[in-house]
Structure 1
């Protein structure tokens, strides 16, 4: 999957071993910027441990040349990183874009690349969840524009915060 802009071309591919540390730091920086992780909390430790994720799930990165600009993890139902996926669904997790390049189409390229990869592997659907509030920086419109559809029957309350309602989305492939 490639996005061509006036200045750069982005490609999406599986993470390489030499990129694991960069991807971990990028995840923490993106989640910290969104107020969803602290530097040394348990979730930041999980975000940093890309090697463990890559051993149990598919970790894709968006690259401009050799520079990693974003990442997404794809987890099959029943695996350690899947919370929502059922049957043969594939779950989108830990979508993160370097804060320095956010709002430039990197997340869209990653999501399109994830859908392309999943379809090539024979998965019938991608699923994900996102906080229900739709303030600045929330991805609801992006998901819907890319064809993800809400399924309110699968919405849930976050275990970490009873005030955090998570909306469920599905993309049929």
Structure 2
């Protein structure tokens, strides 16, 4: 059974490791020293500005996701009626076991519990094909007019949205 709960300070090191390992294993970055990689591994600082939720299985943290709403520091694309899902990661050692899907389902459930939230939105890399497949399989649709470039790069990010 997978438990979805708010991250606690004792979880932060494991969330940082899973984030680093999953981004590197997927080939999104060549090094953990990349400035963005350094930033997303600062879990305590992120937790001060956003909600970080973890997936726990058999007492072990196996995944995490950051949630934000419009106007919050970690909201990149959220509209007023959206809960934005960011940095969804699953430990590479247990990927392909349904944890990512369970995390997305838990985010959707959380979004439905929030007043004024009518949709879940997210951004994903243009080449992150397995992520696209997961989101599409769960009902998310592309919102290509909201796609945006990573500042200072030629990398484009895709926006997906799920109406609740």
TM-score, normalised on structure 2? 0.92
Change (3 A) 1:107 1:160: farther
Q: List aligned pairs for 1:42-121, cutoff 5 A.
A: 42-121=35-114
Determine if the alignment matches structure 1 residue 132 to structure 2 residue 114.
no
Shift in Å at residue 130 of structure 1? Answer: 1.5
2:12 aligns with: 20
2:156 aligns with: 165
Q: What is the rounded CA distance, in whole Å, between the counterparts of 1:134 and 1:47 in structure 2?
A: 18
Any idea what the Cα deviations from partners look like across 1:126-164, whole Å, max 9, x if unmatched?
1111122364xx2111101111111111112222421x2
SS at match of 2:64: strand
Shift in Å at residue 74 of structure 1? Answer: 0.5
- RMSD (Å) for aligned C-alpha atoms: 1.4
Q: Mind listing any 5+ residue stretches in structure 2 that lack a counterpart?
A: none
Shift in Å at residue 92 of structure 1? Answer: 0.8
Q: Mind listing any 5+ residue stretches in structure 1 that lack a counterpart?
A: 1-8
| Aligned residue-pair number | 162
Any idea what the Cα deviations from partners look like across 1:38-82, whole Å, max 9, x if unmatched?
222221222211111111111111111210000000011111111
Q: What is the rounded CA distance, in whole Å, between the counterparts of 2:92 and 2:39 in structure 1?
A: 19
Moved over 4 A (4+): none
Change (3 A) 1:29 1:134: closer
Q: What is the rounded CA distance, in whole Å, between the counterparts of 2:64 and 2:77 in structure 1?
A: 19
